[in-house]
Amino acid sequence: MTELNYTNIRRQLEEEKAEILKSVSGGSGLPIHMNPDRDDLAQDYITLEKTIALKAMEREQLEQVESALQRLDNGTYGLCSECSELIPTERLEILPYATLCVRCQTQHERHW
Ligand SMILES: [Zn+2]
């Protein structure tokens, strides 16, 4: 099993965080001009809904990244939050903010 490179993981997480923050605060804001006389008003609402959904997704991702950084700090990083088993390095390299091992993740998805 390959040794987990915490420095790399941390850098990856910090970069991810910066990316999200940039896109949250950046240009893709809510459409300001909503003219009720226009035919494409429905389109505006679809755009608005998409934007809100996207923001929610980004917020969720940001929370995951921040909690991963916290776990790096308090030494619980890389442990499954359900069964406390080590999450394989290979998985963390692909998904640095994973909180569940593959087995628990699969169970979660099945329940949903
Ligand atoms: Zn687990």
Dist CA 83 CA 80 (whole Å):
6
Dist CA 104 CA 112 (whole Å):
13
User: Is residue 28 in a domain?
Assistant: no
Ligand 1 centroid–CA 85 distance in Å is 6
Which domain does 17 fall in, by range? 6-23+41-111
Q: The domain spanning residue 12 has which CATH number?
A: 1.20.120.910
Structure tokens at 80: 């499954």
User: Is residue 35 in a domain?
Assistant: no
Ligand 1 centroid–CA 112 distance in Å is 17
| Tally of structural domains, the chain | 1
User: Is residue 32 in a domain?
Assistant: no
Ligand 1 centroid–CA 92 distance in Å is 13
How does pLDDT run across 2-40, given as a tens digit for each residue?
A: 678 899 999 999 999 999 998 877 654 555 555 556 667
User: Is residue 67 in a domain?
Assistant: yes
How does pLDDT run across 54-101, given as a tens digit for each residue?
A: 889 999 999 999 999 999 999 999 999 999 999 999 999 889 999 999
